[in-house]
Amino acid sequence: MREKKRVVIGVTGGIAVYKALDIISALRKQDVEIKVIMTESAKQFVTPLAFQSLSQNMVITDMFAEPKAWEIQHIALAQWADIMLIAPATANIVGKVANGIADDMLSTSIMATEAKVIFAPAMNTKMYENKIVQDNINKLKGYGYSFIEPASGRLACGDIGKGKLANVSDIVDRVLIELEEKEKDLLGKKVLITAGPTIAPIDPVRYITNKSTGKMGYAIAQEAKERGAEVTLVSGPTNLPKIADINFISVKTNGEMKEAVLRYYDFADIVIKSAAVADYKPKEYSNEKIKKGEGDLELTLARDSDILKILGERKKEQILVGFAAESNNVLNNAEKKLKNKNLDFIVANDITSNDTGFASEDNKVTILSKEGKVINLDKMSKKQVATNIFDMILGKR
């Protein structure tokens, strides 16, 4: 195996450019190999020579390059990188990538890489808070790009607020963590995961659903894949990008999810049901669009299957993990579900909190085991929650 880790650092124009030199020097001390791409505007702040001396490697700029040269070179760099770090990242580069614009060496390399890309934005507070910039950041997060939040303080322009490049040591730590190879401790294991909402159709144009975005389940699928598992993801409708190299099954209703899950259940070693499944469906489905009348319309709902309960009843060797979305009495209710549905673990989250749970990037959960072990996790990214779930399943915590 290749020993040295490789990071491509994309440097864009801003007063924080000189801090990228500190990042490079810290990563070099950790024996990380660095190549630098500078944008035209970054070169206005610090010369490429400074980056070349510190990285002890080539610095790619567009200054002398023919367009044809970077068209070929960006592929080579994109493939070379284990990680691409964009620091400092301007509103411009964030906006370009979020909108599919690839018109220079850096933007084409970001577009062409399969490596993890981490942005460390630095810009004026008002710019950072601008809805367009925030939309672009959220869009990129949805596609799996990572961000290191800027710090607050006095900015170069004199304004006080959020927008300073994050601490160099935080950026370096984050890169080093990402470079660590995941132990393939799920190799040979078949992991079945459900994610997202289900829908219960009323007529050809209307349906009942819930607020689940699928982010938690997709993070679990990604984590399982990285740890070497053979992953089947049964997903309700979401806006999330597909995960490469897994078995992906798209479903809409409770019935379709049940059918898909039961098809794979007997072969699975670990089953994690993070989907928010509808418990009820309209008793009668109308083949025609329901027309409005004068008075109220009553909709009678019929109970639909509790898929997890069925899995609990049919459980053989599988490790069965459920979620409990609760708005009150979180732990008591979760414990009841753990017992009633014959689960091995349950992941309980309080859905009343604003900055965690549905649609959020973060989650704050408690994991309970059937043996009575209880682990309270701090607020953390859904990916980190996924890491903890598998660590708990494998007895690593």
In angstroms, the CA 52 to CA 57 distance is 6
Residue 383 annotated as binding site: no
How far apart are CB 370 and ligand CTP at their closest, in Å? 15
In angstroms, the CA 110 to CA 208 distance is 39
In angstroms, the CA 195 to CA 197 distance is 7
According to the binding rule CB under 6 A, does residue 159 interact with ligand CTP? no
Residue 116 annotated as binding site: no
In this structure, which amino acid lies at residue 380?
M
Label residue 80 exposed, middle or buried (CB < 10 Å: 0-12, 13-18, 19+): middle
How far apart are CB 290 and ligand CTP at their closest, in Å? 25
Q: Is 91 a catalytic residue?
A: no
Residue 68 annotated as binding site: no
Residues 258-277 that bind ligand CTP (CB under 6 A): 273, 275, 277
Identify which of 282, 271, 391 has the alpha carbon closest to the alpha carbon of residue 341.
Answer: 271
Residue 269 annotated as binding site: no
What angle do the packed helices 105-112 and 91-98 form, to 10 degrees? 50
Site pattern 275..314 for ligand CTP (x: CB under 6 A): x-x-x------------------------xxxxx------
**Beta partners for residue 190, in sequence order:** 230
Residue 341 annotated as binding site: yes
Residues 316-355 that bind ligand CTP (CB under 6 A): 322-325, 337
**Beta partners for residue 273, in sequence order:** 194, 322
By beta-carbon proximity to ligand CTP, the closer residue of 61 and 274 is: 274
How far apart are CB 388 and ligand CTP at their closest, in Å? 17
Q: Are 217 and 386 in contact (CB under 8 A)?
A: no
How far apart are CB 326 and ligand CTP at their closest, in Å? 7
Residues 26-85 that bind ligand CTP (CB under 6 A): none
Q: Are 107 and 89 in contact (CB under 8 A)?
A: no
In angstroms, the CA 196 to CA 249 distance is 12
Label residue 250 exposed, middle or buried (CB < 10 Å: 0-12, 13-18, 19+): middle
In angstroms, the CA 229 to CA 271 distance is 12
How far apart are CB 145 and ligand CTP at their closest, in Å? 28
By beta-carbon proximity to ligand CTP, the closer residue of 19 and 258 is: 258
Q: How many residues bind ligand CTP (CB under 6 A)?
A: 15
By beta-carbon proximity to ligand CTP, the closer residue of 146 and 333 is: 333
By beta-carbon proximity to ligand CTP, the closer residue of 170 and 306 is: 306
Residues 157, 160, 299, 374: which is the catalytic one? 157
Residue 161, sorted as left (phi over 0), alpha (psi -120 to 50) or beta, turns out to be left
The residues that touch ligand CTP, with contacts defined as CB under 6 A, are: 254, 273, 275, 277, 279, 304-308, 322-325, 337
User: Residues forming the annotated binding site for CTP?
Assistant: 279, 289, 323, 337, 341
Enumerate the active-site residues: 157
